[in-house]
Amino acid sequence: MNAATARTFSARQLAVGIVGYCCFISLYSPQSILPLLSHDFHASAARVSTVITVSTMAVALTAPFTGTVADVLGRKRVIVTAMFLLAIPTIMVGLSPNLTWMIAWRGIQGLVLPSIFAVTVAYIGDEWPHNEAATAAGIYSSGSSFGGFSGRLVTGFFADWLGWRYGFFALACVVLTGAIAVTLLLPRERKFVRSEGILASGRQMLRHIRNPQLLSVYAVGFGVLFNFIATFTYVSFHLAAAPYNLSPTWLGVLFVTYLAGSALTPWTGWAVNRFGRRRFMTWVIAIWIGGAALMLASSLPLIILGLTLCAACGLLCQAVSTASVTITAKAGRSSAVGLYVTCFYGGGSFGAALGGLAWTLGNWPACVAMVAIMLVIMGAIVRFAWTPGMPIAPTAEATQS
């Protein structure tokens, strides 16, 4: 690899990390201030959690169509345009006069986001060799997890010091800066094969739906975000109440648990090739169940340890599933990823909605029990529906060593 090629390779790795960061700094940013919003807008926990549900549902509904359009128009153009557009609803969330307007602008955020991350994952599948796709997906996932942590931290910090509205203005500035950086760093696609048209791409989507391996991966993706949203939305209400009484800033700091996943996901490809995809996922889900059990403890350090295990295991599952989609889909990767994103964020919407029902019926223990049931279902899907013969090839680190 000559110097120019190495610089290009490093630039596009950095770019996909920035994309992940900017997407997820926006998507989950209200979670650390949900108790404060509930107080300010005089709304119940289930009602105020709609600011999370509406975004994930909008993502789920539009992702397949975004992928189809990107299969026709190309990758970078769609990614960069959507990143600039994302700043607008982010600003408007901060200007919302009431909860209804906030929910509406959060929905618009969700409409824009698939054009960024679904297309970026497809770009990874196109532009990286298969033996490096898991590494690139890991970098993207690391950026995503760090962005998820940062968004919650920023809104929590501003809520305590200047007001939660300024937190969203700060996030908009970050997104705009990221859009400029990606415009400069991300190379134009070179291996992209343009679809024959919207109808042809739609037919590819139907073929994806008939692929049992893709469907099993989609089902696991559904469960991953179902559990993430149910856990990290309602733990804020749990820890904002007595005896913990955590402020928005400390609730934001709590999401440092995401960084455990950021540190581990770049090694996903190595782990899968070392232990096998199905075996690795089974063990990760088992550890995730253990982390969920720890969250029932009364001790705050044990709860944080449980959250850390849940975050790390969830992000590992997401990295494996994402790479599996890009490798399994031989054509129409944007539409294949779009369908995965639909299932993934559909799971998030159900996690928030059913989490609200569980919270109403039995508070935090009921939410944790619901998460544990979903994890058992995910483990069964991996064990009985995922075939062992679909490996993720060695990562760049492994081949270079």
Please report the DSSP string for 46-110 in residue order.
HHHTHHHHHHHHHHHHHHHHHHHHHHHH-HHHHHHHHHHHHHHHHHHHHT-SSHHHHHHHHHHHH
Residue 330 has pLDDT above 70, yes or no: no
Contact in structure between 205 and 68 (CB atoms under 8 Å)? yes
Matching residue, tokens 């950026």: 143
- What per-residue string of b and e applies to 111-146 under the rule 16 or more CB within 10 Å gives b? bbbbbbbbbbbbbbbbbbeebbbbbbbbbbbbbbbb
- What per-residue string of b and e applies to 265-289 under the rule 16 or more CB within 10 Å gives b? bbbbbbbbbeeebbebbbebbeebb
Task: Express each pLDDT in 178-227 by its tens digit.
Answer: 999 999 988 877 766 555 555 665 666 677 777 888 899 999 999 999 99
Structure confidence at residue 179 (pLDDT): 95
| pTM, to two decimals | 0.77
Matching residue, tokens 């599933």: 321
What's domain 3-189+198-393's superfamily in CATH?
MFS general substrate transporter like domains (1.20.1250.20)
Round to whole Å and give the CA distance between 96 and 168.
11
Instruction: Quote the mean pLDDT of the chain.
Output: 84
Task: Express each pLDDT in 33-53 by its tens digit.
Answer: 999 999 999 998 889 989 999
Q: Can you read off the two tokens belonging to residue 136? A: 């690139």
Residue 393 has pLDDT above 50, yes or no: no
Q: Indicate the range of 128-132, 203-207, 317-321, 387-391 predicted with least confidence.
A: 387-391
Residue 273 has pLDDT above 60, yes or no: yes
Round to whole Å and give the CA distance between 242 and 259.
27
**Average pLDDT over every residue of 365-394:** 83
What residue spans define the domains of the chain? 3-189+198-393
Q: Indicate the range of 102-116, 124-138, 367-381 predicted with least confidence.
A: 124-138
Nearest CA to 127 among 189, 71, 203?
189
Round to whole Å and give the CA distance between 64 and 59.
9
Round to whole Å and give the CA distance between 288 and 395.
24
